[in-house]
Amino acid sequence: MSNEELTEHLDNPKVLKKKVKKLAKLIRNSNYPVIHTGAGVSTSAGIPDYRGPNGVWTCRDQGRNVPYVKKPWNLLEPTYCHMTISKLIDLGLVKHLISQNTDGLHVHSGVSLDKISELHGNTNKEHCKDCETEYFRPFSVYDTWTPPNDHRSGRKCENCGGLLYDTIINFGENLSKKEIDSGYKHSKKSDLSIVLGTSLKVTPAADLPMIPVKKKTGKMVIVNLQKTPLDDYASIRIFAKTDDVCKLLMKELEIPVLSFKETLELRAEERRKKLGITKEEEEEQNKKERKKYIEERTKLVENHKKGGFFNNFFDGVEQDDDSD
């Protein structure tokens, strides 16, 4: 990448405020806004981006040490931008979310699975190919000891007993038909594409926000620190961090946004009320669940070390007949 492509730009506060004010007006006047997100919405959560000045691909191409996530994945928390998107969807001001991210933070923030198209998969989600049941876990379902591109997680479907697979799309693999079809469906219905934190260089993800623009039925707004190939097509082009834009946007829309911790406590209170249990009883249940999870993971590791990982968890899988 050239120096110009790597350069990050920042709108001055006065210009930024004016642009966000226009964005708020577009959202109010649109019938079907769709948000498109990339790595830029998760950088403040501690996850490095890919094409920024210190991004994963940039450092790799320049021979520098590649940045890494410094916290365990299960301790990462949704950013202000994630919580804003969740709130806008909850209020119906945004109809759908299309994301290239696999970190699971959008779902953790409260976005329901039917309101998001995750084009490249989700580290926390596994699914059954037999009955199509999906499971969203509080941990990464991908195991490092699994053979490359195997995708079997080592668990079985609670509904039909079928094998469970992770949903991550690796390089060279086709996107999930379900997710890409969903992305196209909502992009075709959209009259406003709001692009947050992506370089718009990866297709087909980069093609989707352009659909309402090409059809001349809608507009596109791009929020990204670096320039993108689609900047000239944007009705509003904002150079700023996504969290900063979202804070100004929600202030303009006069909508309060709870932090992730506040949201978790609110959910917990609602759950306890529904179940009729106390906070102490819930904590005891959580301890038992964590203990069960640790025991299951320990068994998986021990089984792998013994070389029997696939024999125990993937029995019943048809094998190729090499008898010829």
Binding annotation: 128, 131, 157, 160
Residue with tokens 């309402």: 212
Per DSSP, 40 falls in state G
Cα separation, 112 vs 115, in Å, equals 5
Residue 139 DSSP SS3? coil
| The pairing of beta strand 96-99 with beta strand 125-128 | unpaired
Q: Which of 117, 105, 114, 113 is nearest to 79 (CA)?
A: 105
Q: Which residues are annotated as a binding site for Zn(2+)?
A: 128, 131, 157, 160
DSSP structure string for 200-222: S-STTTTTGGGHHHHTTS-EEEE
Cα separation, 308 vs 312, in Å, equals 6
**What amino acid positions are annotated as catalytic residues?**
120
